[in-house]
Amino acid sequence: MACHRWLCISLLLLLLLSLASQSCHALHSFGFDIHHRFSDPVKEILGVHDLPDKGTRQYYVAMAHRDRIFRGRRLAAGYHSPLTFIPSNETYQIEAFGFLHFANVSVGTPPLSFLVALDTGSDLFWLPCNCTKCVHGIGLSNGEKIAFNIYDLKGSSTSQPVLCNSSLCELQRQCPSSDTICPYEVNYLSNGTSTTGFLVEDVLHLITDDDKTKDADTRITFGCGQVQTGAFLDGAAPNGLFGLGMSNESVPSILAKEGLTSNSFSMCFGSDGLGRITFGDNSSLVQGKTPFNLRALHPTYNITVTQIIVGEKVDDLEFHAIFDSGTSFTYLNDPAYKQITNSVSNLDFS
């Protein structure tokens, strides 16, 4: 969910993404599995098997449909047509399954699991919490319902509210005093999509990536999302959003600040919908590096593309692009879009 609007078309991308904001001394790395919404593990969790098959027209139509809704582009206004999945004609609203890659995270004491969407285009990690407006479960076409866990501040013995005097409280001006609970509000690009509530601190249960037997629980700050609006009520990230941006409030930044990991993380998405996310991954010495174009007000994973390869033809083409795990496709503006589509049109597929 990036905070940018690109009016363009989409090119399907199989993405191997490694993000690092800065290198540090060797520390532990922590990781957990991530799953695309159409992957087999997600189908098992939801008890649904009639989702679009990978590579079919319906598969790409479904992903494009979610992008139109969630990114709120003008071209998508009023687009609410339902989709039918194969091999049967049973229909599931795509909104009910979201479109991001997901990870199952465990928070609190006793621990509760949440299927959160991973988003490099935003910063805050938030969970549905003592909510008045949120999604409590997903209804299936067969009448069954998958219930989601809802975080409860009083239900966790290790939880505590974050006060307005915290350095992570961005809305201090709205606080009547420094010893009151810090509110938060995040508005996303999609029209009318937001989350509001207050900040809390609790335990995020992690395990070392190099030795799966070592627990590494750490206290992190996240949003207690009391009111969700817009796409969040239509199924996009219905059980929480895990912001992976560059700000101090993101979990990778918190882990680095606490000295638990280096200030980096990596994600790998496979063609089968399975993937991995690791915090504190310093990469290998032979791995190539790409510098980020950092903006002071709102830094993002923005890079400069200098060349494109279509088929075996290499063309010089310079433009800026943002790595955003909150979209299913690559979106391009002109002249990059025109040059790439012309190159594709000139390919010999015979």
| The one catalytic residue among 67, 119, 234, 281 | 119
Residue positions counted in the chain: 350
Name the E strands within the chain.
10-12, 16-20, 30-36, 101-107, 112-119, 125-133, 137-139, 145-147, 160-161, 183-187, 194-204, 218-229, 241-243, 264-269, 274-279, 302-310, 313-322, 329-331
Whether 205 contacts 81, CB under 8 Å = no
Pairing of strands 160-161, 30-36: unpaired
Task: Give yes or no: 272 in active site.
Answer: no
| The one catalytic residue among 123, 202, 234, 324 | 324
Pairing of strands 125-133, 241-243: antiparallel
Element (H, E) at 343: helix 336-345
Task: Give yes or no: 334 in active site.
Answer: no
Alpha carbon distances (Å) from 67 to 32, 100, 198, 270: 25, 10, 28, 20
Measuring CA to CA, which residue among 185, 174, 168, 179 is closest to residue 224?
185
Whether 85 contacts 94, CB under 8 Å = no
SS3 category, 96: helix
Measuring CA to CA, which residue among 323, 325, 301 is closest to residue 102?
325
DSSP 8-state assignment for residue 27: -
Mind telling me the catalytic residues?
119, 324
